[in-house]
Amino acid sequence: MVTFTQILINGILLGSMYGIAAIGLSLIFGTMRIIFLAQGTMIVFFAYVVYWAFTLAGIDPYLCLFIVVPLAFVVGLGLFYLLFRKAAALEDKNVSLLLAVGLMYLVENLILKIWSATPRGLNISYSSATIVVGGLRVSWLRLALLGLALVSALVVNLFLKKTRVGTAVRAASEDMEATPLQGINSAWVCAVSFAIGIGLAGVAGAGMATVYSFDYQFGFTFALKALVALALGGIGNVWGALAGGLILGILENLAAFYIGIGWIEIVSYGIFILVLIFLPQGLFGRRGLVKKV
Amino acid sequence: MKLMPDFSNLNRRKLVWASFTAIAVVFLGTLPFYYDVHNGQLGIFFFTVFIYGIVGQGWNLVAGYTGQISLGQNAFFGLGAFTTALLWVYGVTHTGYWFDPVLIILSGVTPIILAVIVGLPLLSRLRGDYFSFGTLGMGMIVSVLFLNGGDLTGGSEGKLLIKYMPEGVAFNLRTHYWVAFLAAVFATAVVYFMTTSRVGLALKAIREDEVSAASHGVNVLKYKIIAFAVAASLAGIAGSIYTYYLLHPMPMNVFAQNWLFIPILMVVLGGTGTMLGPWLGALVIYAIAWYGDKFFAGWHPVILGVIIILVMRFLPSGIVGLGDKATGLSRRGSAGRG
């Protein structure tokens, strides 16, 4: 039983990473209608930034959040206006998809060229600090990760529900063609949601740097896992995306323990396809939303 | 490359394209007679262009003509490659030929089986983006299955085919060139005849408006699966031929993302939903990659990323669509509709 609970807890912690990434994907998908395949690679990129900020300048990864997240936001805005602005307005979504793929190739291989293929992982003074509750060991860092995911979801949710731009983003994900008719600047809406998506990649990057060892190739798989989490939770639902991530994390840890590490991918993508076929609105999504996709 | 001149509706633009195509086909078809394709660089250059182009031509049929964006072509390519490798290693067909036509055909059949098995649930229930997601997941599953296949598939090491080469056969790229060229002609012909026949009309009707197509008596699911299966088969054949060049298929290289994204890039650059587009795109992209690698050795993937970004940023409507705004209309439906 203790093992099972331990697996559950580890799963939740892995899942919180998926969750953060999935929220970012969800925002970008909502407005631009593409799977932003470079999301995972951006996460890895920001993980490297956090890693080097700690290794070279001794900046604490959690303190670094206050640098990396605004940086990621600005990078997101820049990328959008530089690359995606024109493509986002096209009806042919292949262009945006390929731009994301190109970005993925570019960033992934620049990381390889600049920082080599050696897997990196941080070793901070409090890395090994754990809390023991009833025989279960939970490291503080992993708990902090879950906290990070919850705060991210809360902030994004508040932004979507309480701000004017957030309302516009929601409107755009309901019906992009109607947004200009309501006097909404659709490019700006896309830009903001894209920038927040990349900002979340910054959050996830910092989280990844503290807990996991990562290398340059990690990104693509991670983006796909985030996509699975998103489908599981239901597209267009912030808390759903987070919950999807948590569920996926738990399932993967269970699969690794009971079936074998090599079969994790089969389980997660198998679930992915089953969900797409039989439950396209996801576990927490609204039924009506899928018809528009 | 093989746009048949349609004399009943002859106009200047078509004539230009047709003569251009004829010259290209004659040039490529006779190249080995006056050029050493084994030692010269043009041989391997065009061989690779043919392989990528065949995969692209198949994707073009699904995405460009039918409007279903498949993101699983690498799975079919890898499946074709492994079909050839495994049947060869285990000597199933007992033919013992080099470039065994039976193996190549069978490698075109297994992807069809997978495409129908996967396509039935995916295409009957999923549309637009969800179909893309599903094919992406399918690709990952298939590659992981081969990775976990143990001794049967060789796991991550794949199968080393050199020691299974038939006796008395010399590895000569001339053969590769011919086979790939014929397969390229075949792929284009298949797509040409499919798109100009009743099937093509049905596919285009589905792309433009699925509901309307269904209400006009088009069996939407049937035609979608036909297009998906033909595209899968072409990718499998390309994978099979490429295996004869690689001689060491591993999950890492035959299921690589390259076999998914680069053909898509080539088609989109050339012009989706056009017959020549994939070939123009393949030629241009691979030429850039080729020279990029020559002058900046080792930076090849970085250059590829830059090319993808630059092309999509500044030439999103492709080469064929350049200077002809009208074709913009025919490209409209390729996004997730429905």
* DSSP letter (8 states) at residue B317: T
Domain span at B139:
15-334
Cα–Cα distance, A260 to B106 (Å, whole number)? 32
Decide if pLDDT at B327 tops 50. Answer: no
Q: Is the dihedral of CA A234, A287, B134, B273 positive or negative?
A: negative
Which of B185, B171, B237 has its CA nearest to residue B37? B171
Distances, alpha carbon B179 to alpha carbons A186, A293, B38, in Å? 50, 42, 14
**Would you call B305 and A270 a contact, using CB atoms and an 8 Å cutoff?**
no
Interface membership of A229 toward B (CB under 8 Å): no
Q: At what angle do helices A218-233 and A264-278 cross, to 10 degrees?
A: 40
Least confident of B37-51, B64-78, B289-303: B289-303
Interface membership of B173 toward A (CB under 8 Å): no
B23 Cα to chain A: minimum distance (Å): 31
Please state the separation of Cα B332 from the chain's center in Å: 22
Decide if pLDDT at B78 tops 90. Answer: yes
Above pLDDT 70, what percent of chain B? 91
Q: Nearest residue on chain B to A89, judged by CA atoms?
A: B316
Mean pLDDT of chain B: 85
Q: Is the dihedral of CA B61, B67, B68, B69 positive or negative?
A: positive
Q: Closest CB to B144: pick one of A101, A220, A265.
A: A265
Which of A269, A275, A279, A281 should one mutate to test binding to chain B, selecting the residue with the greatest count of B CBs within 10 A?
Answer: A269
Q: What is the pLDDT of residue B111?
A: 96
Reported confidence tier of residue A48, pLDDT bands at 50, 70, 90: very high
**Would you call A220 and B122 a contact, using CB atoms and an 8 Å cutoff?**
no
**Would you call B302 and A87 a contact, using CB atoms and an 8 Å cutoff?**
no
Q: Nearest residue on chain B to A274, judged by CA atoms?
A: B134
Q: What is the pLDDT of residue B10?
A: 58
The label of the residue with tokens 């076929």 reads A277
Domain presence at residue B10: no
Domain span at A238:
2-292
Domain presence at residue B5: no
Interface membership of B336 toward A (CB under 8 Å): yes
Which distant-in-sequence residues (6+ apart) come within 8 Å of B129 by Cβ?
A: A29, A33, A35, A293, B69, B336
* DSSP string for residues in B231-280: HHHHHHHHHHHHHHHHS---HHHHT-THHHHHHHHHHHHH-TT-SSHHHH
Are residues B100 and B264 in contact, defined by beta-carbon separation less than 8 angstroms? no
Q: What is the pLDDT of residue B329?
A: 42
B280, B284, B290, B294 alpha-carbon torsion, rounded to 10°:
150
Q: What is the pLDDT of residue B322?
A: 61
Partners of residue A29 in chain B, C-beta under 8 Å = 129
Which distant-in-sequence residues (6+ apart) come within 8 Å of B183 by Cβ?
A: B50, B54, B104, B237, B238, B241
The label of the residue with tokens 């995916």 reads B122
Above pLDDT 90, what percent of chain B? 35
Longest pairwise C-alpha distance within chain A: 59
By CB neighbour count within 10 A (0-12 exposed, 13-18 middle, 19+ buried), where does A56 fall?
Answer: exposed
Q: What is the pLDDT of residue B5?
A: 52
Q: What is the pLDDT of residue A179?
A: 80
Partners of residue A290 in chain B, C-beta under 8 Å = 130
Domain presence at residue B330: yes
Longest pairwise C-alpha distance within chain B: 59
Number of domains in chain A: 1
Interface membership of B127 toward A (CB under 8 Å): yes
Per-range mean pLDDT, top range of A12-21, A278-287, B321-330: A12-21
Q: Closest CB to B264: pick one of A87, A94, A103.
A: A94
For the segment B49-64, the average pLDDT, to the nearest whole number, is 94
Half-sphere exposure of B51 (CA within 13 A, CB side): 27
Interface membership of A272 toward B (CB under 8 Å): yes
Q: What is the distance in angstroms between the CA of the first residue and the CA of the last residue of chain B?
A: 32
**Would you call A86 and B313 a contact, using CB atoms and an 8 Å cutoff?**
yes
Neighbours of B306 (CB within 10 A): 17
**Which two three-digit tokens encode residue A263?**
């079969």
pLDDT digits over A212-260, tens only?
Answer: 888 888 888 899 999 999 999 887 788 999 999 999 999 999 999 888 8
pLDDT digits over A135-149, tens only?
Answer: 777 778 778 888 999
pLDDT digits over B96-133, tens only?
Answer: 778 888 899 999 999 999 999 999 988 887 777 788 88
**Would you call A266 and B145 a contact, using CB atoms and an 8 Å cutoff?**
yes
Are residues A183 and A172 in contact, defined by beta-carbon separation less than 8 angstroms? no
Q: Report the amino acid identity of residue A53.
A: A
Q: Report the amino acid identity of residue A182.
A: Q
Are residues A41 and A25 in contact, defined by beta-carbon separation less than 8 angstroms? no
Are residues A152 and A20 in contact, defined by beta-carbon separation less than 8 angstroms? yes
B309 Cα to chain A: minimum distance (Å): 5
B133 Cα to chain A: minimum distance (Å): 8
b/e map A16-26, b = 16+ CB within 10 Å: bbbbbbbbbbb
Cα–Cα distance, B64 to B320 (Å, whole number)? 13
Q: Tell which wins on pLDDT, A48 or A117.
A: A48
Give the domain CATH number at A36: 1.10.3470
B8 Cα to chain A: minimum distance (Å): 32
Number of domains in chain B: 1
* DSSP letter (8 states) at residue A214: B
Please tell me the total number of residues recorded for chain B in this structure.
338
Q: Closest CB to A273: pick one of B137, B148, B316.
A: B137
Cα–Cα distance, B146 to B158 (Å, whole number)? 8
Are residues A48 and A115 in contact, defined by beta-carbon separation less than 8 angstroms? yes
**Would you call A83 and B309 a contact, using CB atoms and an 8 Å cutoff?**
yes
Helix (H, G, I), strand (E, B) or coil at B298: coil
Which of B137, B139, B75, B147 has its CA nearest to residue A271? B137
Cα–Cα distance, B290 to B295 (Å, whole number)? 9
Neighbours of B101 (CB within 10 A): 11
Q: What is the pLDDT of residue A286?
A: 62
Partners of residue B330 in chain A, C-beta under 8 Å = none
Q: Tell which wins on pLDDT, B127 or B240.
A: B240
Which of A80, A2, A86, A18 has its CA nearest to residue A251? A18
